[in-house]
Structure 1
Amino acid sequence: MVRTALTNMLGIEAPLVGFNRSPAVVAEVSNAGGFGVLGASTFTPAELDAALSWIEEQVGGRPYGVDVLVPGHTAQSDPADLIASLRAQIPQGHRDFVEGLLERYGIPELPAGTPTVATDEIASALATGGGGVEALLDVAFSHRISLVANALGPPPPELVSRAKAAGVPVAGLVGQGKHVANQLEAGVDVLIAQGTEAGGHTGTVATMVLTPEVIELAGSVPVLAAGGIASGPQMAAALALGAAGVWCGSVWLSSTEEVTGEAVKRKYLEATSADTVRSPTRTGKPARQLRTAWHDEWDTLGAPSPLPMPLQPMLVQDAWNRIDAAADAGNEDARALESFFIGQVVGGFRRLRPTAEITREIIADCEARLHELARLTATPGEP
Structure 2
Amino acid sequence: MQTELCKKLGIDLPIFAFTHCRDVVVEVSKAGGIGVFGAVGLSPEMLKIELDWIDEHIGDKPYGLDIVIPAKYEGQGEMDPEKLEQQLRAMVPQEHYEFADKVLAEHGVPELPEKQEARLLSWNEAIGSQLVEQALHRPNCRLVANALGTPPADLVKRIQDSGRLVGALCGRIKQVEAHRDAGLDFIVAQGGEGGGHTGDVGSIVFWPQAVDAAGDVPVLAAGGIGNGRQMLSAMATGVQGVWTGSLWLAVEEAHAQPAQKQSYFDASSEDTVRSKSWTGKPCRMIKNDWTEAWGSSDTPDPLPMPLQGLVSYNAMIRTNQYADKGDCQKVAFNPAGQVIGQVNHVESSRNLIMRLLNEYVEALEYINNLTAD
Following superposition, the deviation at residue 358 of structure 1 comes to: 0.9
Following superposition, the deviation at residue 52 of structure 1 comes to: 2.3
Contact map agreement 2:118 2:311 (CA 8 A) in 1? no
CA–CA distance in structure 1, aligned partners of residues 44 and 360 of structure 2: 37
CA–CA distance in structure 1, aligned partners of residues 355 and 228 of structure 2: 7
- 1:355-377 deviation line (CA, Å, top 9, x unaligned): 11112211232133223322322
RMSD: 2.1
Look up the match of 2:89.
87
SS at match of 1:187: coil
Following superposition, the deviation at residue 71 of structure 1 comes to: 5.2
Paired residues for 1:132-211 under 5 Å:
132-144=127-139, 145-211=141-207
1:362 counterpart = 2:362: no
Following superposition, the deviation at residue 301 of structure 1 comes to: 4.7
Paired residues for 1:212-361 under 5 Å:
212-328=208-324, 330-331=325-326, 333-361=327-355
Look up the match of 2:371.
377
Following superposition, the deviation at residue 40 of structure 1 comes to: 1.6
Following superposition, the deviation at residue 112 of structure 1 comes to: 4.0
Following superposition, the deviation at residue 19 of structure 1 comes to: 0.8
CA–CA distance in structure 2, aligned partners of residues 140 and 57 of structure 1: 14
- 1:49-95 deviation line (CA, Å, top 9, x unaligned): 33223223322212211112245684236533432332222223323
CA–CA distance in structure 1, aligned partners of residues 304 and 256 of structure 2: 25
Following superposition, the deviation at residue 222 of structure 1 comes to: 1.0
Q: In proportion to residue count, which structure has more helix? A: 1
SS at match of 2:17: strand
- 1:151-171 deviation line (CA, Å, top 9, x unaligned): 121122222222222221111
Look up the match of 1:97.
99
Look up the match of 1:7.
6
CA–CA distance in structure 2, aligned partners of residues 340 and 285 of structure 1: 15
Look up the match of 1:106.
108
- 1:251-299 deviation line (CA, Å, top 9, x unaligned): 0002121122322211111111000010001111110000112122223
SS at match of 2:50: helix
Following superposition, the deviation at residue 308 of structure 1 comes to: 1.0
CA–CA distance in structure 1, aligned partners of residues 138 and 41 of structure 2: 18
Contact map agreement 2:120 2:306 (CA 8 A) in 1? no
TM-score, normalised to structure 1, is 0.90
- 1:117-152 deviation line (CA, Å, top 9, x unaligned): x963325x716x1xx333322220110111111112
1:86–1:334: structure 2 CA closer, same or farther, 3 Å change rule?
A: same
Contact map agreement 2:169 2:189 (CA 8 A) in 1? yes
CA–CA distance in structure 2, aligned partners of residues 234 and 210 of structure 1: 14
Aligned residues: 369
One-letter amino acid of the counterpart of residue 99, structure 1: D
SS at match of 1:138: helix
**Mean CA deviation greater in 289-298 or 226-235:** 289-298
Contact map agreement 2:196 2:284 (CA 8 A) in 1? yes
**Mean CA deviation greater in 56-65 or 205-214:** 56-65
One-letter amino acid of the counterpart of residue 357, structure 1: N
SS at match of 2:120: helix
CA–CA distance in structure 2, aligned partners of residues 99 and 119 of structure 1: 12
One-letter amino acid of the counterpart of residue 37, structure 2: L
Contact map agreement 1:289 1:342 (CA 8 A) in 2? yes
Unaligned runs of 5+ in 2: none
SS at match of 2:108: coil
TM-score, normalised to structure 2, is 0.92
Identity rate, percent: 39
1:139–1:96: structure 2 CA closer, same or farther, 3 Å change rule?
A: closer
Contact map agreement 2:148 2:197 (CA 8 A) in 1? no
Larger radius of gyration: 1
Contact map agreement 1:173 1:193 (CA 8 A) in 2? yes
CA–CA distance in structure 1, aligned partners of residues 114 and 105 of structure 2: 19
1:95–1:24: structure 2 CA closer, same or farther, 3 Å change rule?
A: same
Contact map agreement 1:197 1:206 (CA 8 A) in 2? yes
SS at match of 1:148: strand
CA–CA distance in structure 2, aligned partners of residues 153 and 283 of structure 1: 15
1:35 counterpart = 2:54: no
SS at match of 1:61: coil
CA–CA distance in structure 1, aligned partners of residues 170 and 296 of structure 2: 33
One-letter amino acid of the counterpart of residue 204, structure 1: D
One-letter amino acid of the counterpart of residue 142, structure 1: H
Following superposition, the deviation at residue 182 of structure 1 comes to: 1.1
Following superposition, the deviation at residue 303 of structure 1 comes to: 1.2
Contact map agreement 1:71 1:156 (CA 8 A) in 2? no
SS at match of 1:193: strand
Contact map agreement 1:176 1:205 (CA 8 A) in 2? yes
Unaligned runs of 5+ in 1: none
Following superposition, the deviation at residue 230 of structure 1 comes to: 1.5
CA–CA distance in structure 2, aligned partners of residues 227 and 32 of structure 1: 22
